[in-house]
Amino acid sequence: MDVKPIVEALIKRNHEVLETTIGDSPAEVLHWVPPGIAHPIAALYAHVVTGEDMMFHRVLMNGQNPLYEGEWATKTGLSEIREKPGVSWDQWARRLRMDLAAFREYAHLIQGKMEAYVAAADEAEMARMVTPHIPGRPPVPAAVFITNIMCNHIANHAGEISTLKGLQGLKGYPF
């Protein structure tokens, strides 16, 4: 059995669920700070997409810089790209502001690059060993990296986003 169709279907479906869960959420929904230690939707969405940018370029594209460090550094629609060393995740998440339309343009570019990579890949590429940027993780086939790390990352945070919308009295998942 070829793995590429499975990987292709999973990454596309995860992108669809994330994007339709975000929907056309207004700024007050994106930036709402939930009680406790949960983070605003904008921070979760930014983390997922910049994480995909980083993982795609650094891991799958053999060490290339993510777009948020280059040509898209000032075009992502985020007030800050990612949490900085010495600044807690909580501080960054609560301070972050997002222009949803601008960020969506960046998100769709990254998602399109990822989907195009998988569509163009052959089985040898899906079997190529890659090293995740996660301390202690051994090299894995690209297909495993995409499905177990990238897709799970998207799905897990889409679930958080759905819950945060529900806590605000809104529909989360689109189904």
Where are the domains positioned within the chain? 4-167
Alpha carbon distance 9, 48 (integer Å): 18
Which pTM was predicted?
0.95
Q: What CATH superfamily classification does 4-167 receive?
A: dinb family like domain (1.20.120.450)
pLDDT in tens, 155-175: 999 999 999 999 999 999 988
CB 10 within 8 A of CB 118: no
What letter represents residue 76's amino acid? T
Can you read off the two tokens belonging to residue 96?
A: 């972050």
pLDDT in tens, 93-146: 999 999 999 999 999 999 999 999 999 999 999 999 999 988 888 999 999 999
Half-sphere exposure of 118 (CA within 13 A, CB side): 25
Can you read off the two tokens belonging to residue 50?
A: 């910049």
Which contiguous run of DSSP H or E holds residue 25? none
Mean pLDDT of 23-30: 97
- At residue 87, the pLDDT reads 74
- At residue 171, the pLDDT reads 95
